[in-house]
Amino acid sequence: MERLFLIGANKAGTTAVHHFLAAHPQIFMTVNKEPSYYSWDPAAGRAPGPSFVTDAAAYEELFALARDARVAGESSTAYLPNRTARERIHTEHPTARILMILRDPSERAHSAHSMMVQRGAEPMVDFADAVERELGGDRTFDYLRLGRYADDVAAWRESFPGARITFYQDLAADPRAFVAGIHEWLGVDPFDGADVGHRHNVSVIADRSRAYRILGSPRARAVARRLVPSGARRRARHRLEQRARATPLDAETRRVLVEYYESDVRALEDLTGRDLTAWRTV
C-alpha cells in the first residue's frame, strides 16, 4: 500500500481534492483530513496546535480502515512550508507520493484572511490592513509567507523527485479532469464517481444582507431568545457580523501583493515550467 501526502497549499482546494480522492474505492483518505502529525518536532515537547495528532499509535489508527486500499493518504496543509514535516516523512515513508496544489498567492492570502475573519480569529477585517500589518513584520497569521512557494517546492522535490505539482486554476476549470490526472498518477483504476460539483471549505466574503434580514427578523429573534442562551446568541451575532465584514481583494492591494510575490512566482515558473503570468498580473 502506498502512502499519499497532500501537503498543501492552504486554501488551495485541498479539502475538495481530499474528498474527491476518498470517493475512489481503491483510495483511502483519513477521516481527520489534517492530522498534521509530521509537522511538529517530538523533541519540542508539545504540538503547535490543539488539533495536531501527536501520538504515533493514534496517527496509525487513522489508517486502520484502509485494509486493501492501494493508496492510503492524508491532507495536512501544514506540511508544505515545514522542514520538520519533510524530513520526518522522508525518514518514515521515503517512497511516499507527494501531491501539491498551488494557488495564485494573492488570492490564496485573501482567502485565508477571509477564513480567519469568518472564524472570529482575525480582528482586522480589512484585508489591506492585514497585508500592511504582515509587511510590517507581524507574522501572526502568515497570510503572505504561506504563498511564497518556490523554496518549499524545491525542497520537497529534492526529497521526493516524483512529487506532483498541480495548480488550483486547473482544479477550478475542470475538477473531473484534474482528479482523473491524479488517479492516473497514483496508478489506480479510472473512476468517475466523485461528486466534483460539491464545494468544500469555501471562505465566504459575499454580502450577508439576506442572512441579516432572516436572522434579524422579530420572529427569529423571539425564537432565539426562547431557545438559545444569551451568551451563544452574542457569539453567533459576532460571528455573523465578522463574516459580513470580510473585505474583497481590491486592485491596489493586489498590486502590492503582485509586487511582493514577483520574484518568487518567477522562480516557481522556472521550477515547474508553468506559465504563471496571471499570478503576476494586477
Distance CA 141, CA 24 (A): 34
pLDDT at res. 197? 76
pLDDT at res. 204? 44
Alpha helices per DSSP H over 31-104:
56-61, 83-92
Quote the Cα angle for 83-85-91, to 5°: 105
pLDDT at res. 229? 84
The three cell numbers of residue 32 are 481527520
Centroid of chain to Cα 138: 21
Burial class (CB in 10 A: 0-12, 13-18, 19+), 278: exposed
Number of C-beta neighbours around residue 234 at 10 A: 11
Q: For residue 109, which of 230, 237, 250, 249 has the smallest C-alpha distance? A: 249
Could you give the C-alpha distances from 129 to 135, 147, 207, 268, 275, in angstroms and in order? 10, 18, 20, 27, 30
Contact 25, 210 (CB under 8 A): no
pLDDT at res. 200? 52
pLDDT at res. 153? 98
CA torsion through residues 19, 25, 29, 30, sign? positive
Spell out, as residue ranges, where the chain has pLDDT lower than 70.
Answer: 45-50, 198-224, 233-246
pLDDT at res. 2? 97
- CA torsion, ordered 207, 19, 91, 49, to nearest 10 deg: 40
| Cβ-Cβ contacts under 8 Å for 90 (sequence gap 6 or more) | 159, 160
What 3-state class would DSSP assign to 26? coil
**Beta strand 71-74 with 164-167: parallel, antiparallel or unpaired?**
unpaired
Supply the pTM of this predicted model. 0.84
What's the number of CA atoms in the CB half-sphere (13 Å) around residue 95? 5
Q: Scanning the structure block, which residue is given the C-alpha cell 501572526?
A: 140
**H/E element holding 231?**
helix 230-245
Number of C-beta neighbours around residue 15 at 10 A: 18
The three cell numbers of residue 30 are 483519513
pLDDT at res. 223? 67
